[in-house]
Amino acid sequence: MCLKIGPYSLSSRILLAPMAGITDAPYRQLCHQFGAGLTPAEMITSDPSLRNSKKTQQRLLQNTDQSPRCVQIVGTEPDKMAQAAEFNAKLGADIIDINMGCPAKKVCNKLAGSALMQDPSLVKKILTEVVKAVDIPVTLKMRTGWASNKKNAKQIAKIAEDAGITSIAIHGRTRNQAYTGYAEYETVRQVKQSVAIPVIANGDISSPEDAQFILNYTQVDALMLGRITQGQPWIFQAFNQQYSTSTKVKNHVKPITYKTKKNTILTHISAIHRHYGTDQGVRIARKHIGWYLFKLVGHKPNLLKRLKQEIFKISDADLQHHYLKNCLHNLEYTLSDSKDYYSSYE
């Protein structure tokens, strides 16, 4: 079954979750390349006074972004949210996503992100204004509710459907949970049953087996992967092997080899240096390098610690890339000699 968002038929039902500070243009490009059906950008504030800030500029769509290009906006005032949607549509967004899932204090102090779920009438105004402002699909990302005794996802979903929202992604946690505990899928299942628009499940999906269970249990239209992709953006390929709607993709999926991982990591780091410039790029690259190394040698904590300590000291972009290249080269031999080679590397 193919997921359609407005006029866009997505190539896969496995989508990337928006993550501020992570799903920047280089990351989106990699995830798209490995088969993510949608690669939303990091949230952009609706505050027009911040439109020219360096942060907002870096978060705008780039020419590496592939259609459908989804931009997420966050804010609290209906007119500003509508203007932000218009602004991003003019810059080339194909889909506008509204953030009602973020629990971050900075956002919630202004009653934005998931805090908005506390105020259904404001939600209605924001969604209605944004849908009215643009002639492209508007989607919503939310949580199950505000707190465990205030799970109003079904109510918000109905408001969204009535306001003309095209699809809803739901993270199976409440705002109060932040990222603690586990995502639950009973509320997601109820939301799916209560609306006719596509529903996308999100939260703690870490394997194709989880995905199968959640799809069967909730009957949702698609799944969104967040933190599990960190340090392994190629994971979309493994999920797609089972869930792609396209038999063409299914038949062409090959295991990810160490060589592919190595080339992907190095390409990613170079793209980060280009996107942010070398100074900021080196700092941003460190977190991704940490995740990549963890995925490769997390089972050897001393080696992981030493490699991270060495590479995190480097502050020059070329040196960082060069060191990482050598490190990945050496790791291939270190790990290929060990019994972990097949489990970690293929």
Ligand X SMILES: Cc1cc2nc3c(=O)[nH]c(=O)nc-3n(C[C@H](O)[C@H](O)[C@H](O)COP(=O)(O)O)c2cc1C
Tell which phi-psi region holds residue 112, choosing left (phi > 0), alpha (psi between -120 and 50) or beta.
beta
Tell me whether residue 14 or residue 265 sits nearer to ligand X (CB atom).
14
Tell me whether residue 37 or residue 203 sits nearer to ligand X (CB atom).
203
Catalytic annotation present for 108: no
- Quote the least distance from Cβ 183 to ligand X, whole Å: 6
Indicate whether 19 belongs to the interface with ligand X (CB under 6 A): yes
Choose among 63, 46, 44, 64: nearest CA to 54.
44
Tell me whether residue 198 or residue 203 sits nearer to ligand X (CB atom).
203
The correct pick among 65, 129, 161, 204 for binding ligand X (CB under 6 A) is 204
The correct pick among 3, 60, 95, 102 for binding ligand X (CB under 6 A) is 102
Q: What does 256-298 look like in DSSP terms, one character per residue?
A: PPHHHHHHHHHHHHHHHHHHH-HHHHHHHHHHHHHHHHHHHHT
The correct pick among 7, 9, 21, 255 for binding ligand X (CB under 6 A) is 21
- Residue 38 to residue 262: CA distance in whole angstroms: 24
- Quote the least distance from Cβ 221 to ligand X, whole Å: 17
130-169 positions binding ligand X, by CB under 6 A:
141
Rg (CA), the chain: 20
- Quote the least distance from Cβ 205 to ligand X, whole Å: 6
Q: What residues are paired with 70 via a beta bridge?
A: 95
Residues 6+ apart with CB under 8 A from 126: 75, 76, 77, 78, 81, 98, 116
35-94 positions binding ligand X, by CB under 6 A:
42-43, 72
Stretch that binds ligand X, among 44-52, 185-193, 222-230, 336-344 (CB under 6 A): 222-230
For the chain, counts of helices (H) and of strands (E): 15, 10
Interstrand relation of 4-5 and 138-145 (parallel, antiparallel or unpaired): unpaired
User: Which residues of the shown chain bind ligand X in the complex (CB under 6 A)?
Assistant: 17-22, 42-43, 72, 99, 101-102, 141, 171, 202-205, 225-228
Catalytic residues: 102
